[in-house]
Amino acid sequence: MATSEAKVVPHPRGTWLDPATGSLVDQRPVLQKAAFRRAVLLGETHDVAEIHRWQLHVIAFLNVLNPAMAVGFEMFPRRLQPVLDAWVDGEMDTDSFLVRSEWYDVWGFDPALYLPIFHFCRQQKVPMLALNCYRPLVTRVGKEGWDAIPESERDGLTPSAPATSAHRQYLFNLVGRGRAGGPGGMAESADDPAFDRFVRAQQTWDRAFACNIARALAERPVSLVVGIIGRGHLEYGHGTPYQLRDLGINDVSVLLPGESDTQDVGTVGGIADAIFRLDRPEPPNSWRAKRQTAPQPPAEGSQS
């Protein structure tokens, strides 16, 4: 994380900013360069609708520039890949997709936030990729460590590259001292062994996203994977970009949304390749309480 002397620069709405220099940059070269990377990672805060609108706009631009692309999603575990394939192939309606993808269990945020992206992929026949792993694996690795997990229960993942000191500090700053730790006690610092459990769990997610992006690039007829991933897995080259580099995928762009009308280059330097200034986001809706209205599976024998 950058810690140099503060340099605050304006960031007007609807513009891209190079966080390394604080300079505004034209959209065309940002997206033309990104379109021919191996991976473009679009960070998000999960419950902000304006961010998902921005993601859709970027995906649409990239698809025009490089149609040989797929879009990967953090929320779907790999075991649900057949459901995503069937959705893109037009084999079910929206309510059936939400049920069969186990949306209300694996994610739970308002599906309206993401449905425009899902429908874009379906309409344009852009493959959708499940980037996550089996959730209990994350818990087990955090608690027991990677070596304690039998190979048959690793959900296709390889061991994470060890976290750097900078990444540990980033995570510690992100979660705060009050949440940094586990049953063995509260961590007092980023290098406290009590923080290891949290770091191992976080890295399991980072590695899952990286492994599944790498697998798609190796096995599918695509030259670009666009990842829809929480920004805490992407910032400052940590997390998934770091794990992708460990897998030999270095040609990666990280693009982030921003809400502030100024940026402090001393803070955001190195956070991403470019930051886009959003329209003023609307406050997130508290939607999770409405989950009891989730659609039910279709009746036996009914047509989806």
Domain ranges of the chain: 10-153+199-281
CB atoms within 10 A of CB 225: 28
Supply the DSSP symbol for 197. H
- Consecutive 10-residue averages of pLDDT for the chain (304 residues): 73 98 98 98 97 98 98 99 99 98 96 98 99 98 97 98 98 78 74 94 98 98 98 98 99 98 97 96 62 50 40
The pLDDT assigned to 176 comes to 75
CB atoms within 10 A of CB 119: 13
* CB neighbour burial string for 231-255, b if at least 16 within 10 angstroms, e if fewer: bbbbbbbbbbbbbbebbebeebbbb
Instruction: Please state, in angstroms and rounded to a whole number, the distance separating the CA atoms of residues 266 and 2.
Output: 6
The pLDDT assigned to 292 comes to 44
Three-state helix/strand/coil letters over 95-151: HHHHHHCCHHHHCCCCHHHCHHHHHHHHHHCCCEEEEECCHHHHHHHHHHCHHHCCH
Q: Show the CA angle centred on residue 286, arms to residues 280 and 291, nearest 5°.
A: 135
Tokens of 182: 């586990």
Q: Show the CA angle centred on residue 105, arms to residues 100 and 106, nearest 5°.
A: 85
The pLDDT assigned to 280 comes to 85
Closest CA to 141 of 200, 198, 98, 226: 200
Kindly report the pTM of this predicted structure. 0.91
The pLDDT assigned to 206 comes to 99
Q: Which CATH architecture has domain 10-153+199-281?
A: 3-Layer(aba) Sandwich (3.40)
Looking at the chain, the number of H-run helices and the number of E-run strands are: 11, 12
The pLDDT assigned to 303 comes to 41
> Under DSSP, is residue 231 helix (H, G, I), strand (E, B) or coil?
helix
Q: What are phi and psi of 151, to 5 degrees?
A: -55, -35
103 contact partners, CB below 8 Å, separation of at least 6:
75, 97, 111, 294
203 contact partners, CB below 8 Å, separation of at least 6:
141, 160, 163, 243
The pLDDT assigned to 180 comes to 63
